[in-house]
Copies of this chain bind each other. A is one copy, B any other.
Amino acid sequence: MHGGVEWIVDVEGLESAAIAGEHGRSALRALFAELIAALELHPLHEPIAHVFPAPGGVTLLVALSESHLACHSYPEAGYLSLNLYTCRARPAPDWEGLVRAHLGPARVCVRTIERGERAAQPQRAR
């Protein structure tokens, strides 16, 4: 099998402070660390971390043996995007629990996208 699964996670209704600046970067790195441990993923390097000027959006990005993990926060909108793409099937993580544990209350929308040989049926995207 090739291709795998991508989780596209949109998080809304976050407190701005939870996802902004150095505090936001630390919280998101901790979320990444827990996710990586829980799913037994293998990072190829330290995450790329970038904190943008005020209001302090944060980008974190890491290549994995299994593909990649990324997030981008928009404190001005209380919004966070998360992507996890893994080339091997594995159980879905508890996205809502992880987000709330590290970032506080939020609305979490998860979509699961199949990649590769199963992607020839785009209507199966959900």
Contact = CB atoms under 8 A, between A and B. Distances in A.
Contacts of A39: none
A113 B125 CA distance: 10
Given A48-B48, A117-B12, A119-B10, A59 B63 contact: yes
A3 B72 CA distance: 9
Contacts of A6: 8, 83
A41 interface: no
B81 A83 contact: no
A29 interface: no
A111 interface: yes
A32 interface: no
B59 A72 contact: no
Contacts of A117: 12, 77, 79
A63 B6 CA distance: 18
14 contacts: A2-B77, A3-B74, A8-B115, A10-B115, A44-B48, A44-B59, A45-B48, A67-B72, A68-B70, A68-B72, A77-B117, A79-B117, A111-B125, A113-B113
